[in-house]
């Protein structure tokens, strides 16, 4: 039995918004990075679903690129977190508001 593409896309949307909520609400940078990964993967899910539905391999290819970028971005993000921690000695994002105008 084939699952309608609507279900996949709704799941993708739900996961995406959970990710958004995580970025906005949580104060721990590691949790924020994980939420960002959630958002990216939600997008991947939507891409694969549509790609399957329209029988078009472009979506699959795009997903590969997204995964790569997400990995690189996660690495850099973690490096920034480490550098910030070394200077500010805290991982609470609200405490590191030194760019305040």
Residues 47-66 that bind other proteins (CB under 8 A): none
The pattern of x and - marking residues 11 through 30 that bind other proteins according to CB under 8 A reads: ---------x--xxx-x---
Residues 66-95 that bind other proteins (CB under 8 A): 93-94
Burial 2-18 (b: 16+ CB within 10 A, else e): eeeeeebbeebeebbee
8 Rama class: left (phi>0) / alpha (psi -120 to 50) / beta: alpha
Could you list the beta-strand ranges (E) of the chain.
none
Pick 27 or 60: Cβ nearer other proteins:
27
Distance CA 29, CA 95 (A): 11
Closest separation between CB of residue 41 and other proteins, Å?
Answer: 18
Closest separation between CB of residue 23 and other proteins, Å?
Answer: 5
Closest separation between CB of residue 49 and other proteins, Å?
Answer: 19
Task: Determine whether 83 is exposed, middle or buried from the number of CB atoms within 10 Å of its CB (0-12, 13-18, 19+).
Answer: exposed
Closest separation between CB of residue 20 and other proteins, Å?
Answer: 6
| Residues contributing to the site for other proteins (CB under 8 A) | 20, 23-25, 27, 32, 93-94, 96-101
């Amino acid at each position: 039995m084939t699952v309608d593409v609507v279900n996949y896309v709704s799941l993708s949307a739900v996961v995406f918004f959970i990710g958004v909520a995580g970025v906005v609400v949580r104060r721990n940078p590691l949790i924020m990075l994980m939420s960002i990964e959630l958002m990216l993967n939600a997008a991947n899910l939507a891409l694969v679903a549509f790609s399957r539905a329209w029988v078009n391999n472009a979506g699959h290819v795009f997903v590969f690129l997204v995964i790569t970028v997400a990995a690189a971005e996660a690495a850099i993000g973690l490096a920034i977190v480490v550098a910030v921690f070394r200077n500010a000695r805290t991982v609470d994002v609200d405490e590191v508001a030194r760019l305040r105008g």
